Chain A
Amino acid sequence: MAHAIAHSGVTQIDSAIDPTHRNILFGLYDDEVKLLDAVKAANAAHLEIDNVYTPFPVHGLDPLLGLQESRLHQAGFIFGSIGCLFGFGFMTWVFTRDWPIIFGGKPYWSVPAFIPITFELTVLFAAVGMVLVFYIVCGLGPGAEPRRLHDRITDDKFCLAFDATDLDGDSVDGLRGFFAETGAESVHNKYTA
């Protein structure tokens, strides 16, 4: 059931307005170049961008949004190091302390023979750890509720979103004017977490 927001004249999508939810005003662009230009225009006008949603990674967007480089590689390095030390340390402990066995007359602590498993565990720990960190920091996982503003964002639309919760009517109109100037195809708003 649609509610009208009196001062902006924008139709509200959500049937029930949760006061804890934020009012997101967003425009959809049909091309990534238009989106990049719009983001630049927003920066120039000192508008505070809430988020940008795209169907595929758009290069050149990160610095405009002031996104810092991802630190996932650090997580990968830490987990990989743990895997490496764990693998080598465990084999060393087994064959020198817990149950030393001579295989083929070779020394208990036969380092070259430990290399393949040490390598595999390094890669395994790094990959699994990094993927887990990725899903956790992004808040993704089975059952995670996405903040879905529009169904076409995962298809062919490029979305620039502003938080309009605390904005007055004039500011909202200003944002709508901004979307019109930057070539947005449509403007919507939605209450979302």
Chain B
Amino acid sequence: MLRQDNEDDTSTIFYNMSGHVAPVRKPLITGNKTYHQITEDICRPTETAPSLSWVITFILSVMCLGMFAFAVAWTVWVGIGSWNLNRTINWGWDITNFVWWVGIGHAGTLISAILLLFRQKWRTGVNRAAEAMTIFAVMCAGQFPLIHMGRIWLAIFIFPYPNTRGPLWVNFNSPLLWDVFAISTYFTVSLLFWYAGLVPDFATVRDRAKGLRKQIYSVLSFGWNGSAKHWQRWESLSLILAGLATPLVLSVHTIVSFDFATSVIPGWHTTIFPPYFVAGAIFSGFAMVLTLMLIARKVLHLEDYITIEHIESMNKVILLTGSIVGVAYLTELFIAWYSGYIYEQFAFLNRVLGPYYWSYIGMMLCNVLSPQIFWSKRLRTSLFWTFFMSIFINIGMWFERFVIIATTLSRDYLPSSWSYYVPSWVEICIFIGSIGLFFTLFLIFTRVAPVVAIAEIKSILKTSGDQYIGPTAHHHDDAHHGTKIPSEVNDISSGGTVDIDGSTDTEIK
């Protein structure tokens, strides 16, 4: 549809290509926005002083981050002995937190890559923030294996570089090393994808800024000028990066699940892990996106861009992935029984009825039963229930990882080494502190970068519903005279005079 042979058909094709929207679709952007209003709305948080609620949240986050730094320093100083890990349970909260954060980091790329390939236009409202969340979540995740090494300064040993120890290379057959490559590739590609999208929007902020801010955003925007060829390459880049990121995002949690699945521990050694982990990752990631977006749309006044439609779409994904996870839990139980293998059967009985039964109940309740409320349209379009469930699901997904790791390790083949594990204050502080790290980064992001992808949201403005009232929109010619557009934000469209920066030359009209 894009390519045309007859040049005269361009505008017809333009509308045919992007103009058809099913009449049942509600507009994705409400509030009868013009292009300029979109710029104003989305750039505003980067241009105004932060609100009191932002400052309070930021101080709390930085305090948590301080706690993180202290607990990590304590771990390094005292040693891993300051944690309550023992000979039997050698992975505890650290790897639970690692898997939890990596899982959360899956929604961003899913939204920006897979939904781009599926041409889901609602992604444009949330993709920027979701990608930022992905990057910050992966940064949090990466902390845990590093801290767990104890001697953090030797972390470079995980990379295969020519060294004085032989050179002795890393073990390329180990899923833990696959993880190193998967997480660092995922982080790099997500960052590049995110930044490529940010470049045109930084240019928008640059062209509105003055003084030092203009200089800073000039550097950040890489000299973007919006030329047609640049846009063509930019779209091509986005599409191919999306194509690359799609198998990548699936591979990352698959490889995380290999950390467990390639072992010979009953309860871990299962082929269901990769799809089950990926579904769980999307599930928890969407929950975290909803937590953040519900707060952001309120605090940053983005209700017209992140609408109930967006929230409902994400709740549908949560319902789907939550149900997949539920089926996976039940399949595990069935296969353990069906296998006839007593160690496997014991592992699962122990999960459900053993000393950590409470975490299994928490997992089932939060992940499988409670998301089923989203079959009701009233509940999945309710802000209260969505927010409540988004928190609930992330608690549930944390329990899932804890169930897999702690319950399995606590009862191994040798009953004399059975043990019970509760975290020490250091481990608890590191976990809570990592949430502080995450929120500190996210809050900074909301102040310095456009939280919604400005260029992308403009490109769907006309095609996502008949709400555009700009000067030449169909059925809305009256808007040309400024009757519907507030004059303070639309001084240009109401007449022919242009005097934006004092450098205007000639009027035509």
- Chain A residues proximal to chain B, CB less than 8 Å: 9-11, 13, 28, 30-34, 36-37, 40, 43, 51-65, 67, 69-70, 72-73, 76, 80, 90-91, 94-95, 98-99, 101, 103-104, 106, 110, 113-114, 116-117, 119-121, 123-124, 126-128, 130-131, 134-135, 137-157, 159, 176, 179-180, 184-189
Question: Is there contact, CB below 8 Å, between A58 and B255?
Answer: no
Q: Is B20 an interface residue (CB 8 A)?
A: no
Q: Which residues of A contact B8 (CB under 8 A)?
A: 40
Question: Is there contact, CB below 8 Å, between A188 and B255?
Answer: no
Question: Is there contact, CB below 8 Å, between B224 and A60?
Answer: no
Chain A residue, CB-CB nearest to B186: A120
In B143-179, the 8 Å CB interface with A consists of 160, 166-169, 171-175, 177-178
Q: Which residues of B contact A94 (CB under 8 A)?
A: 160, 169, 172
Chain B residue, CB-CB nearest to A13: B503
Q: Is B7 an interface residue (CB 8 A)?
A: yes
In angstroms, Cα B56 to Cα A1, docked, is: 47
Q: Which residues of B contact A149 (CB under 8 A)?
A: 225
Instruction: From known contacts A53-B225, A155-B208, infer whether A34 and B496 are also in contact, taking CB-CB under 8 Å.
Output: no
Q: Which residues of B contact A10 (CB under 8 A)?
A: 505-506
**Which listed residue, B167, B224, B234, B251, touches A120 by the CB 8 Å rule?**
B251
B474 to chain A, nearest CB (A): 10
Q: Which residues of B contact A113 (CB under 8 A)?
A: 172-173
Q: Which residues of B contact A57 (CB under 8 A)?
A: 231-232, 234-235, 455, 459
Would you list the 5 A-B pairs with minimal beta carbon distance, nearest first? A144-B223, A156-B35, A186-B498, A70-B236, A146-B223
Question: Is there contact, CB below 8 Å, between A145 and B172?
Answer: no
Question: Is there contact, CB below 8 Å, between A73 and B226?
Answer: no
Instruction: From known contacts A134-B237, A154-B203, infer whether A95 and B223 are also in contact, taking CB-CB under 8 Å.
Output: no
Chain B residue, CB-CB nearest to A141: B222
Q: Is B51 an interface residue (CB 8 A)?
A: no
Q: Is B240 an interface residue (CB 8 A)?
A: yes
Question: Is there contact, CB below 8 Å, between B185 and A124?
Answer: yes
Q: Which residues of A contact B497 (CB under 8 A)?
A: 186
In angstroms, Cα B504 to Cα A99, docked, is: 70
Question: Is there contact, CB below 8 Å, between A123 and B172?
Answer: no
Sample of 14 A–B contacts (CB below 8 Å): A33-B14, A56-B231, A59-B14, A60-B10, A73-B236, A127-B245, A134-B233, A140-B230, A151-B207, A155-B36, A155-B207, A159-B226, A186-B498, A187-B508
A128 to chain B, nearest CB (A): 7
Chain B residue, CB-CB nearest to A131: B192
B159 to chain A, nearest CB (A): 12
In angstroms, Cα B161 to Cα A94, docked, is: 11
Chain A residue, CB-CB nearest to B248: A123
Instruction: From known contacts A59-B14, A60-B17, A156-B39, infer whether A148 and B225 are also in contact, taking CB-CB under 8 Å.
Output: yes
B450 to chain A, nearest CB (A): 11
Instruction: From known contacts A11-B505, A139-B223, A151-B501, infer whether A185 and B172 are also in contact, taking CB-CB under 8 Å.
Output: no
Chain B residue, CB-CB nearest to A34: B472
In angstroms, Cα B218 to Cα A150, docked, is: 14
Question: Is there contact, CB below 8 Å, between A131 and B196?
Answer: yes
Q: Is B18 an interface residue (CB 8 A)?
A: yes
A156 to chain B, nearest CB (A): 4
Question: Is there contact, CB below 8 Å, between B506 and A186?
Answer: yes
Instruction: From known contacts A110-B173, A113-B172, A146-B224, infer whether A58 and B11 are also in contact, taking CB-CB under 8 Å.
Output: no
Question: Is there contact, CB below 8 Å, between B500 and A116?
Answer: no
Q: Which residues of A contact B178 (CB under 8 A)?
A: 116-117, 120
| Residue of A43, A73, A119, A156 with most chain B CB atoms under a 10 A cut-off | A156
Question: Is there contact, CB below 8 Å, between B14 and A36?
Answer: yes
A12 to chain B, nearest CB (A): 8
In angstroms, Cα B186 to Cα A76, docked, is: 17
Question: Is there contact, CB below 8 Å, between A76 and B240?
Answer: yes
Q: Is B199 an interface residue (CB 8 A)?
A: yes
| Residue of A94, A124, A126, A176 with most chain B CB atoms under a 10 A cut-off | A124
Chain A residue, CB-CB nearest to B258: A116
Q: Is B347 an interface residue (CB 8 A)?
A: no
Chain A residue, CB-CB nearest to B204: A154
In angstroms, Cα B171 to Cα A94, docked, is: 10
Since A31-B471, A186-B498 are in contact, a sample of 12 more A-B pairs with Cβ atoms closer than 8 Å, ordered by chain A residue number, is A10-B506, A52-B227, A52-B228, A64-B10, A70-B232, A70-B237, A72-B240, A94-B169, A98-B169, A124-B185, A130-B241, A154-B225
Question: Is there contact, CB below 8 Å, between B244 and A76?
Answer: yes
In angstroms, Cα B8 to Cα A126, docked, is: 38
Q: Which residues of A contact B473 (CB under 8 A)?
A: 31
Q: Which residues of A contact B160 (CB under 8 A)?
A: 90, 94
Chain B residue, CB-CB nearest to A65: B228
Q: Which residues of B contact A119 (CB under 8 A)?
A: 247, 251
In B483-501, the 8 Å CB interface with A consists of 492-493, 496-498, 500-501
B192 to chain A, nearest CB (A): 5
Q: Is B108 an interface residue (CB 8 A)?
A: no
Q: Which residues of A contact B248 (CB under 8 A)?
A: 120, 123
In angstroms, Cα B248 to Cα A159, docked, is: 38
Question: Is there contact, CB below 8 Å, between A188 and B471?
Answer: no
Q: Which residues of B contact A99 (CB under 8 A)?
A: 166-169
Q: Which residues of A contact B386 (CB under 8 A)?
A: none
Q: Which residues of B contact A128 (CB under 8 A)?
A: 188-189, 192
Q: Which residues of A contact B35 (CB under 8 A)?
A: 55, 155-156
Chain B residue, CB-CB nearest to A189: B505
Chain B residue, CB-CB nearest to A116: B178
In angstroms, Cα B458 to Cα A153, docked, is: 13
Q: Which residues of B contact A59 (CB under 8 A)?
A: 2, 14, 17-18
Question: Is there contact, CB below 8 Å, between A13 and B505?
Answer: yes
Chain A residue, CB-CB nearest to B473: A31
In angstroms, Cα B508 to Cα A176, docked, is: 8
**Which listed residue, B34, B241, B251, touches A116 by the CB 8 Å rule?**
B251
Chain A residue, CB-CB nearest to B490: A156
In angstroms, Cα B112 to Cα A178, docked, is: 41
B124 to chain A, nearest CB (A): 11
Q: Which residues of B contact A65 (CB under 8 A)?
A: 228
**Which listed residue, B169, B232, B472, touches A62 by the CB 8 Å rule?**
B232
Chain B residue, CB-CB nearest to A155: B39
